[in-house]
Amino acid sequence: MRPNKIKQLWNEGKCPTLGWLSISNGFTAEIMARQGFDALCVDLQHGTSEANDVLPMLQAVSQTDTVPFVRVAWNDPASIMRALDLGAYGIIVPLVNNAEEAAAAVAACRYPPDGIRSSGPVRAAHYGGANYFTEANDEIIVMAMVETKEGLANLDEICATPGLDAVYIGPADLSFALDMAPQADNPDPIHLATCDKIRDTAHKHGIKAVMHCAGAPFASEAVKRGFDMVMLASDLNCLIAGVRKQLDDLKANTEG
């Protein structure tokens, strides 16, 4: 089976980069995949993609050695299994509140006897290659997002869930959990300390901690703080930032 490059990078002590696909388009997914991210995530929770968009976007990403991830909209076994069958090598599950929910997410990602995943990798076996059935449980990454008051209260139990590979920090919803306004790359000391607590608890249980960032300055600090993977940029935000820069530069050079 095709090895999961993210796991290989972790085994080498490296911090992989993750890009975000908010736009439901195969061509933009392909362009993002050719920029050098270690992994790309199709966002079904807050992005514009629907279930029917996942297959062509994963096919576009798979033209490169970028690892395809999917953030499902909810902790729903059917949605998780479908994304895996289409070729996702990593699943991010939002709003995980307790150990039972974390265990359910893991079970949906694992074939028996380790889980409840149904047999039917219509594309995954072709993308993953030989021995997919026997090796998928070891290669597929499952991440639980810890971002609610209940999730924080049950952090230790979530991180102790057998088979969970990582916890993923969603900074905006985490801000809600801390009674703050949602903000990307939140510099508030309480928010930073909470993120560090999530990281330390994950590491205590031998799993990884992933930080969702909005740009290189905050992401580089997250790497220095010991996070194991950083989401660096989304297609949508890069599009907006690039257009705004060109417009601002034009105005600066022609007005006055």
Q: What is the DSSP string of the chain?
A: ----HHHHHHHTT---EEEEE-S--HHHHHHHHTTT-SEEEEESSSSS--HHHHHHHHHHHTTSSPEEEEE-SSS-HHHHHHHHHTT-SEEEE----SHHHHHHHHHHHS-TTTS-PPS--TTHHHHH-TTHHHHHHHH-EEEEE--SHHHHHTHHHHHT-TT--EEEE-HHHHHHHTTS---TT---HHHHHHHHHHHHHHHHTT-EEEEE-SSHHHHHHHHHTT-SEEEEEEHHHHHHHHHHHHHHHHHHHH--
CA distance linking residue 207 with residue 160, whole number of Å: 9
Place of tokens 């139990």: 157
Predicted local distance difference test score (pLDDT) of residue 102: 98
Question: What are the C-alpha distances in Å from 33 to residues 39, 104, 119, 199?
Answer: 8, 30, 28, 27
Predicted local distance difference test score (pLDDT) of residue 7: 98
Residues involved in catalysis? 46
The phi, psi pair for 20, rounded to 5°, reads -120, 135
Per-residue pLDDT of the chain (256 residues; tens, 9 = 90+): 999 999 999 999 999 999 999 999 999 999 999 999 999 999 999 999 999 999 999 999 999 999 999 999 999 999 999 999 999 999 999 999 999 999 999 999 999 999 999 999 999 999 999 999 999 999 999 999 999 999 999 999 999 999 999 999 999 999 999 999 999 999 999 999 999 999 999 999 999 999 999 999 999 999 999 999 999 999 999 999 999 999 999 999 998 6
Predicted local distance difference test score (pLDDT) of residue 255: 87
Global pTM reads: 0.97
Decide: 37 and 18 in contact? Cβ < 8 Å: yes
CATH number at residue 198: 3.20.20.60
Question: Is the bond preceding residue 94 a cis peptide, omega within 30 degrees?
Answer: no
Predicted local distance difference test score (pLDDT) of residue 58: 98
Predicted local distance difference test score (pLDDT) of residue 141: 99
User: How many CB atoms are located within 10 Å of the residue 226 CB?
Assistant: 13
Domains of the chain: total: 1
End-to-end CA distance of the chain: 61
User: Hey, what amino acid is at 12?
Assistant: E
CA distance linking residue 121 with residue 14, whole number of Å: 30
Domain extent for 236: 5-254
**Nearest CA among 112, 116, 123 for reference residue 85:** 123
Predicted local distance difference test score (pLDDT) of residue 87: 98
